Amino acid sequence: MQSEAAVHVVDDDVAVRKSLEFLLASEGLPVRLHESALAFLDDAVGIEAGCIVTDVRMPGIDGIELIRRLKVRGITLPVVVMTGHADVPMAVEAMKEGAVDFLEKPFGDEAFLAAVRSALARQERNSHHGSQIAEVQCRFDALSDRERQVLEGLVAGKANKMIAYDLGISPRTVEIYRANVMTKMQAKSLSELVRLALLIETK
């Protein structure tokens, strides 16, 4: 499975798949077609970018169950569900399970493309956020135990003297550790250092 940012269309109706493929291709968006949720799941290894557009009502595994299985597998691509009028409650349930949007049939080309672009943008943001966290975590892992203690004190808003008192070291030594922490964490200011520390705390 390619890892490029493709739009994965999952629908048991071949006519729907083909029409959406034509629309997406005409906008220059890479597209992959899947005739069922099971077919998609069988081919889902290595998918890291893009989004999924799926019908909510399909034989076998429906759109809601697909979302649940994606979560179990750790596949976090944004999912847009397509639904008929009678299936709106199912679409709402799908959103509760993690779908980012739903489109009620019949929908216009622009509405569909807007939903897809929004999903792709969300995935790109999430991917960037994830890589940023990983990078900051690597910097944090390079800190010594004492440097981490100083960092904890700084994040807690403590002055150098208070950190020195808590750790039983001199304020001058705290200043040295603080400078090392700033360098290793690649932070230009205390506020940036706190932001980076909170980033990995809340991951």
pLDDT: which is higher, 46 or 113: 113
Of the candidate CATH numbers 1.10.10.10, 1.10.3720.10, 3.30.1490.270, 3.40.50.10490, the domain formed by 142-201 belongs to 1.10.10.10
pLDDT: which is higher, 2 or 12: 12
pLDDT: which is higher, 95 or 113: 113
- How far is it, in rounded angstroms, from Cα 33 to Cα 140? 42
Question: Given 3-state DSSP classes, what are the helix, strand and coil percentages for the chain, each rounded to the nearest 5?
Answer: 60, 10, 30
28, 79, 125, 137 from 101: Cα distances, Å: 22, 7, 17, 32
Task: Return the pLDDT at 27.
Answer: 94
Least confidently predicted of 72-81, 122-131, 153-162, 193-202: 122-131
Task: Return the pLDDT at 12.
Answer: 94
- Mean pLDDT of all residues belonging to the chain: 89
Least Cα distance to 74 among 29, 118, 130 occurs for 130
CATH 1.10.10.10 domain residues, the chain: 142-201
What CATH homologous superfamily does 6-128 map to?
Answer: Response regulator (3.40.50.2300)
- Strand pairing class (6-10; 31-34): parallel
Answer whether residue 148 shows pLDDT above 90.
yes
Distance of CA 167 to the CA centre of its chain: 38
Hey, is 45 helix, strand or coil? coil
